[in-house]
C-alpha cells in the first residue's frame, strides 16, 4: 500500500514537471506581466488621487472604499482597515464594504471577526465567487469542513476557471489529510492563476516535505519567474538545496534573500544555524545579531547569541544574553544552567562574586470579588434601512440557505 502511494506521488510529481516545462512555448507567446515597479507606481498614483478626492469631498464613502482596496493590494492593512471603517460609517449595511472588511481582517489574521463580516455580506446579497471563496477558506480554518465544501462548490459553480478556488480546495484536502488531491488541485491553481502566490508557496512546501525535490524546484522556479522580487521564494529554494546536502549553494541563496529583503530574519537564522553547527561562532553571531536587531522576539535568539559569545570568550556579553533568555522564559533550564555557569566563570576570573540569575516567581493574583455581569445588547441590522432577502442558491448546486443567522455590525 505504501509503495503504491509512493508511486502515485511520483506520477503526480512527474506530471507537474512536464506541465511546468511543456508550457514554455505557450508562455512565451503571452504578453508578459507588467513590471512590479510599474504596478507600484500606478497604485501609488491612484491612492494619491483618491486622497485628493477625499480632501475635497470627505463624506463620499466610495472613495474610502476604493482606497481601502488599493491599500489592501499593497498590504498596507491598517490604512485599509481605517478606510473601510470610515466608508462603513458613512454608508452602513453596504454588502461590498463588509466583504472588503472581511478580506482585510483575514489578511490581519483576525479570522473569527472576518468570518462574521463575510457572513453579513452574504446576507446582504453579495453574490460573488470571491465572497464564497473567502467563506470557504474561513470555514475550513474554523474546522467546519462540510460548510467549506459547500461554499467552494458554490464558488466553482459561478467561476469554474478561477485558480484561487482550486487553491482553497487544495488547502481543504490537505487539512483532511489527502495530500495527493491537494497537490493536484494546487498545481491546477498555478496553471489557471499564475499570479496567485499562495498556490506556489504551499505546493513547494508540500512537495519538499514529501521528498520530491525536483518537482519542488520546478514549481519554485516557475514562481520566481512570476514573482522575481519575492525573497521567500529564494529561501524556499535554499531550504530545498540544504535538504539535498548542497549547503554551500543554500548559503549563497540565504545571503541573496537577505540582500533582497533586509528584514528576512528566517534566512538569517537558517544561515546562522549552519555556521553554529560548523562551530564558526563568529559568523553565527553575525547572522544572529542581525536577526536580533530586526526582531528581538525570535524564539531562543537570546540563548543562541549568549552561547556564541561564551564560545568566543566574551563572558560579560554571554551573561547579559543568558539572563535575558531566563527572564523571557523562566522554564528554559538550558539557559538557566548556562547563565549559572557563566556567572561562576566571571566570579572566578574577577575575584568578585557574581550572583546567578534568579528565576522570576509567579505572583499569585488575589481572587477578585464576584461582580454582576451586565451583557450589552448586540448590535443588530437596522431593518428600517435595508431589506434582507433569503438567498436562494444557484439551481445546479443543492445548498440549503441559512436565514437564521443575525448580522453583527461592530
**pLDDT tens per residue, range 286-311:** 999 999 999 999 999 999 999 999 99
How would you classify residue 313: left for phi > 0, otherwise alpha for psi between -120 and 50, otherwise beta? left
Q: What angle do CA 76, 109, 174 make, to 5 degrees?
A: 120
> How confident is the model over 34-51, as a mean pLDDT?
82
Reply yes or no on whether the pLDDT at 11 is more than 80: no
Residues 252 and 278 sit within 8 Å (Cβ to Cβ): no
Q: Within a 13 Å sphere around the CA of 136, how many CA atoms are in the beta-carbon half? A: 25
* Cell digits of residue 218: 520546478
Taking domain 299-358, whether its CATH number is 1.25.40 is answered by yes
Whether the predicted model's global pTM rises above the 0.85 cut: no
Q: How confident is the model at residue 9 (pLDDT cuts 50, 70, 90)?
A: low
pLDDT score for 19: 52
Dist. CA 139–CA 270, nearest whole Å:
34
Query: Domain extents for the chain?
Result: 299-358
- CB-based burial of residue 164 (10 Å sphere; 0-12 exposed, 13-18 middle, 19+ buried)? buried
Q: Within a 13 Å sphere around the CA of 318, how many CA atoms are in the beta-carbon half? A: 23
Q: What angle do CA 91, 92, 97 make, to 5 degrees?
A: 80
Reply yes or no on whether the pLDDT at 363 is more than 90: no
Residues 170 and 186 sit within 8 Å (Cβ to Cβ): yes
Amino acid at each position: 500500500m505504501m509503495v503504491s502511494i509512493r508511486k502515485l506521488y511520483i506520477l503526480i510529481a512527474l506530471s507537474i514537471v512536464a506541465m511546468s516545462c511543456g508550457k514554455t512555448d505557450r508562455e512565451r507567446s503571452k504578453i508578459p506581466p507588467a513590471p512590479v515597479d510599474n504596478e507600484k507606481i500606478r497604485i501609488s498614483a491612484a491612492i494619491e488621487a483618491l486622497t485628493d478626492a477625499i480632501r475635497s469631498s470627505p463624506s463620499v464613502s466610495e472613495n474610502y472604499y476604493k482606497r481601502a482596496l488599493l491599500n489592501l493590494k499593497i498590504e498596507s492593512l491598517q490604512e485599509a482597515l481605517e478606510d473601510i471603517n470610515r466608508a462603513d460609517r458613512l454608508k452602513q449595511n453596504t454588502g461590498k464594504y463588509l466583504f472588503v472588511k472581511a478580506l482585510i481582517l483575514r489578511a490581519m489574521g483576525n479570522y473569527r471577526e472576518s468570518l462574521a463580516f463575510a457572513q453579513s455580506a452574504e446576507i446582504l446579497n453579495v453574490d460573488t465567487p470571491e465572497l464564497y471563496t473567502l467563506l470557504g477558506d474561513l470555514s475550513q480554518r474554523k474546522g467546519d469542513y462540510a460548510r467549506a465544501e459547500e461554499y467552494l462548490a458554490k464558488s466553482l459553480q459561478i467561476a469554474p476557471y478561477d485558480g484561487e478556488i482550486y487553491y482553497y480546495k487544495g488547502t481543504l484536502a490537505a487539512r483532511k489529510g489527502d495530500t495527493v488531491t491537494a497537490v493536484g488541485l494546487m498545481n491546477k491553481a498555478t496553471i489557471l492563476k499564475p499570479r496567485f502566490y499562495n498556490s506556489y508557496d504551499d505546493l513547494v512546501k508540500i512537495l519538499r516535505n514529501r521528498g520530491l525535490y525536483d518537482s519542488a524546484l520546478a514549481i519554485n522556479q516557475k514562481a520566481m519567474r512570476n514573482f522575481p522580487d519575492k525573497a521567500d521564494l529564494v529561501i524556499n529554494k535554499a531550504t530545498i538545496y540544504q535538504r539535498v546536502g548542497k549547503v554551500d549553494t543554500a548559503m549563497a541563496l540565504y545571503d541573496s534573500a537577505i540582500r533582497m529583503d533586509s528584514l528576512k530574519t528566517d534566512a538569517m537564522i537558517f544561515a546562522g544555524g549552519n555556521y553554529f553547527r560548523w562551530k564558526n561562532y563568529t559568523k553565527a553571531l553575525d547572522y544572529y545579531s542581525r536577526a536580533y536587531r530586526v526582531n528581538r522576539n525570535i524564539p531562543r535568539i537570546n540563548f543562541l547569541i549568549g552561547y556564541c559569545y561564551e564560545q568566543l570568550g566574551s563572558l560579560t556579553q554571554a551573561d547579559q544574553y543568558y539572563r535575558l533568555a531566563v527572564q523571557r522564559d523562566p522554564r528554559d533550564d538550558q539557559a538557566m544552567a548556562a547563565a549559572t555557569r557563566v556567572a561562576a566563570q566571571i566570579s572566578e576570573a574577577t575575584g568578585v562574586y557574581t550572583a546567578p540569575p534568579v528565576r522570576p516567581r509567579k505572583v499569585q493574583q488575589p481572587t477578585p470579588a464576584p461582580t454582576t455581569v451586565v451583557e450589552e445588547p448586540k448590535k443588530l441590522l437596522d431593518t428600517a434601512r435595508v431589506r434582507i432577502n433569503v438567498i436562494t442558491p444557484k439551481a445546479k448546486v443543492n445548498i440549503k440557505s441559512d436565514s437564521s443567522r443575525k448580522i453583527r455590525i461592530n
